[in-house]
Amino acid sequence: MLRLTWVQPEDLIGHELRQAALDGREPSRIANRWRAAGGLDAPARSGASPDRASRYLRLLAEDLLDELADLPSSLTDHEPTDLAAIRAACPDWPTPRTAAPESATETTTETTPEVTPDRYEAAWLGRAAGCLLGKPVEKLPLDAVRQLALPTGNWPPTAYFTAKGVPEDLLLAHPWNRRSARTSLAENIDGMPEDDDLNYPLLNLLLLQRHGRDFSTADVARLWLDELPAGRTFTAERIAYRNLLTGLEPPHTARHRNPFREWIGALIRADVHGWTNPGDPAAAAEQAHRDATLTHTANGVYAAMFVAAVIARAATGAHDVHDCLATGLRVVPPASRLHRAVRHALELAHEHEDFDTVVDHLHATYAAAHHWVHAVPNTALVAAALTHADGDFTGSVSRAVSGGWDTDSGGATAGSIAALLAGHPGALPDHWTAPLKNRLATSVGDFNGTGFDTLAQLTHRETLRP
């Protein structure tokens, strides 16, 4: 029996009930109706429950999803999704570059000394390595991640995970991510395997090649329908893709029966927007907003804008990680849940010498209320990891993955930022980059088998485009 993940109404309702409680709506009456009818909670880790619901429960779930969407939120004024409202809520919004260059030559003269293809190659490699580190332990609870690494002497993880030396009973109790172990354990790595954390930067590279910086959200949607296989989408992206196919248009694609609209999907698409706007975090955040609103709202959008602004600040190589993170917070409404969570994470990272203690505090604060893919705790963890490691590459990806939750996505974002700050592929330890063999697999466009050096040149070209 085929149980397509992340779209079954009887599973979506449980996620929407949790999301409603987070974003200021009162769902208890609807929750009681669902449970009285025999409805179950959403699956804790997987994308679909094992058994199909009855026709009655499925129809009820669809009705209740629409009722939940109509509930008023007490957080609407503090957490807008409209860009103008977000900017109005951010008193310290970064100053954009005031004058656009008059020619491509002028752009090249201005940008090339600051950002070279080498810096972009480091960023692509860092994103891949951080993702690859997190892949085999994705979906595992925090305690399992720690237990799997300790017997091999790789805690905190300063190299790729391995099954060699892990007791058999421990592997049976905490099996690796079934889709990833065969390509992401140290003994199995042969180039960078396909992952959505790399697919989306490739898509956004195509987006800029075809539409330039003034792309619209509708351009993002068309590109997805042309180039992104539906089976390579997950959570909010899969819902938005489905909504497009039923005739909905952005931004309704992000809102209609989409309980994942504040999860991490938009964040993992943000790197290219930062890379191609070096020194201009405002422009990077605005690009990320146009991309993110196809699939996300509020804090899901802010997470993408935050990462894009951090990367744009880091891309010039003129600022340390702490300044870059502070810049990222300038594009996030101060009264939002994401802003508060990132500030809390930064404080913890400065306060505690042991990063496991930082992680324990974050999990105690956020784990019970948030799904492991939610943008709020994951963004906070990445910020804490980068801060605690002072931007060091190995320290950053190690901490991001050791904190659990969405391990491959957190590792990818931390790796991208830390490698960008490192500035050159040669600055990254060889044991991270050599197994990648300058090759990544993907089902996006014509990129399958492309080298990271080539991707760096293509990214640099988009940076210079007027």
**pLDDT tens-digit readout, 87-97:** 999 999 999 98
pLDDT band at residue 113 using 50, 70 and 90 as cut-offs = very low
Count of beta carbons in the 10 Å neighbourhood of residue 103: 9
Output the furthest CA–CA distance in the chain (Å, rounded).
67
% of the chain at pLDDT higher than 70: 96
pLDDT at position 98 over 90:
no
- Rounded to two decimals, what is the model's pTM? 0.96
- Residue 324 C-beta-side C-alpha neighbours within 13 Å: 30
Alpha carbons 164 and 151: distance in angstroms, whole number: 9
CB atoms within 10 A of CB 318: 11
Q: What is the mean pLDDT of residues 408-436?
A: 98
- Reported as a pLDDT band with limits 50, 70 and 90, residue 1 is low
Contact yes or no for 237/291 (Cβ under 8 A): no
Average pLDDT value for the chain: 95
What is the model's pLDDT at position 97?
81
For residues 465 and 266, which has the higher predicted lDDT (pLDDT)?
Answer: 266
Mean pLDDT confidence for 9-15: 97
Q: What is the pLDDT of residue 105?
A: 42
pLDDT (tens digit, 9 = 90+) per residue, 368-412?
Answer: 999 999 999 999 999 999 999 999 999 999 999 999 999 999 999
Which whole number is the average pLDDT over 44-70? 95
Closest listed residue to residue 289, CA positions, set 298, 280, 276, 278: 298
Q: What is the pLDDT of residues 168-191, one digit of tens each?
A: 999 999 999 888 899 999 999 999
Residue 302: closest CA among 21, 16, 93, 61: 93
Q: Cβ contacts of residue 350 below 8 Å, gap of 6+?
A: 387
Model confidence pLDDT, tens digit, residues 129-151:
999 999 999 999 999 999 999 99
Q: Tokens for 101? A: 């260059």
What integer pLDDT is reported at residue 466 of this predicted model? 82
**107-135+193-464: which CATH topology?**
ADP-ribosylglycohydrolase fold (1.10.4080)
Q: Tell me how far apart the alpha carbons of residues 385 and 355 are, in angstroms, rounded to a whole number.
A: 8
pLDDT attached to residue 111: 39
Query: Pick the residue with more confidence: 329 or 45?
Result: 329
Residue 2 confidence (pLDDT): 73
266: its two tokens: 């938009």
pLDDT recorded at residue 114: 67
Measured distance CA(49)–CA(8) in Å, rounded: 9
Give the three-state DSSP class for 101: coil
CA dist 304 to 29, 61, 296, 376, Å?
33, 30, 10, 11
The domain spans of the chain are 9-70, 107-135+193-464
